[in-house]
Structure 1
Amino acid sequence: MTDSLIFETTKDEKVRGYGRSRMYGSIAWGVGSVVGGIMIDRYGLESVFSFTFFFCGCTILGLMWFKYSKNAGEKKTEGGENNNNNNKNKANNGVRHIVNEIKKLLILNEEIRAFCICITLNGFVMTLADSLLPLQIEALNGTRQFSGLTTLVSILGGIPVFYHSKAIYLRYGPWWMIRVGSLILSIRLLILATCVFDESQLKYILVVQLFHGITFALIWTGSTENLQRAVKNCDLTSSIQTLINTLYFTVGQGIGNVFWGHVYEHYERANEGYFLGAVVILINIWMFRDDAKFDKERSARKKDKVGSGGTSRDLVNIV
């Protein structure tokens, strides 16, 4: 829900974009992982629940200080009065309308279909390290604090990409971001598969985790910007963003958690799983190698606009 709200409030920004706002959530995730790891090491697993409830309460108290309008979201008539009847009718038919429109997009829009498959496979593989890395660290006698530190390091690697994501998107396009992020992910998994076998090699995990932040930032912001460009109906952007969250985190990572868990139990270590994940993501890149045409079409439209005397603002709108 929060991710969709961020997307909705930043989709019209031409410079800051989605990535710079999303960056702060990642920073909080990394810091919270370190603090959570320290608390588990010192006070046991039960302390995490108190930690979570405390900060959720702080969040609620903080939100109470924000100003809001009681009429937020309601359309106004020319006389300034709330058009309650239209709002009620829209609410009654809204869900059905959105579902039907999303179905049409998936049926008629080739890029959206390819994108949905690609993001699901990325979620399936991305959860590999998230699921197996803590188990691997524990098997190599690493602490919970070290496990949290690896998460923080991965977040630090993604901050520059999140911050400059809009500029990267405008320069290279969304599919380029997704492909490069996927390639870095495969390299990361291959390094984990071949370089980490005993306790003395735990330090390599910290270095490799820098790749995770870069990977996630490129894939996620590229996916979001791709969605923003491909969906012409502005009323559907938040709903499609929710769909992408579902495909990546629920479908892809949900299936991935079960599958990679079985792989770990079968081989009794994570290295074989990392290697298999790298193969899957490379196949994913190969499957969608022809989708560079979407980036080429975007560049062609940009050149045509320049040739016809378009302004820099026109170029941003085209992208």
Structure 2
Amino acid sequence: MKAVPLRHPGQWIAAAVVVIVVVLFVYGAATNGAYRWDTYAKYLFDNRILSGVGYTLALTVLAMIIAIILGVVLAVMRLSPNPVLRYTAWVYLWIFRGTPVYVQLVFWGLFPSIYKQIDLGIPFSVQFVHFDIQDWNAAFLFAVVGLALNEAAYMAEIVRAGVSSVGEGQSEASVALGMSWSQTMRRTVLPQAMRVIIPPTGNELISMLKTTSLVAAVPFSLELYGRARDISGVNFQPIPLLMVASTWYLVVTSVLMVGQFYLERHYSKGASRQMTARQLKALAAAQNAPLGSGVAVEGESDERR
């Protein structure tokens, strides 16, 4: 019999409608003078904009590194049998997940006004270190800390979900081998949990890139959106400068998405549902073998070996 594929005229009609809408939108944007494409081209590779991209990447990378490390620590504390560690981590998550990140950044901007100086030492006796916070000009530092502490609360839940996805038998086997609880987490559970942790972590990284536009609350205005806003405040053309900032956000986000794809594929090795050529050959042999011949299909046991 000759197989005739089903026809789907609705798909072709929907595709044609989408193409028409996109063409009309592009034509309208190209002919609309409000976009000021000449200004857009002028500032797309401006040194101030490129500097803002650099600061945005620095904020994103530093904040995510701190957030991942702190998030792993908090997740381990949440899963710890120690009630003090468990409830301390819960309170941290309750505070930083329960308040908006913009409000937290405003507090970090007011940190020198709240704590004018910090003294480290033995209370009421010896003072080892003295910091005069009001003398600091560290808006970038406060921006990184504010973003990292907020993101750590979400990373802790992502790591906890990844750890919970690992079967209990893995932990029991590690304990049977004489490993302590911390060794079990570090050597057995966390490496296997990476397959579940990586996808949402990539999403959080992309979200962090866009959240850096809120650090004006610190205040810190040298990142990408702050630079575009400062330029538009001078030439009174906010629309093309918003398009410039959006373009660079899209470029960086696209690069991060490609990196996330390859990282996910790396940690998904051995977890694919596609059968290998050897497994297909064994399956065909099993199907052609007579009933009760004892032919077995080579499955996941070979993959694990």
The higher relative CO (CA closer than 8 Å, separation ≥ 6) is in 1
What TM-score does the superposition give when structure 2 sets the normalisation length? 0.27
What TM-score does the superposition give when structure 1 sets the normalisation length? 0.26
Structure of larger gyration radius: 2
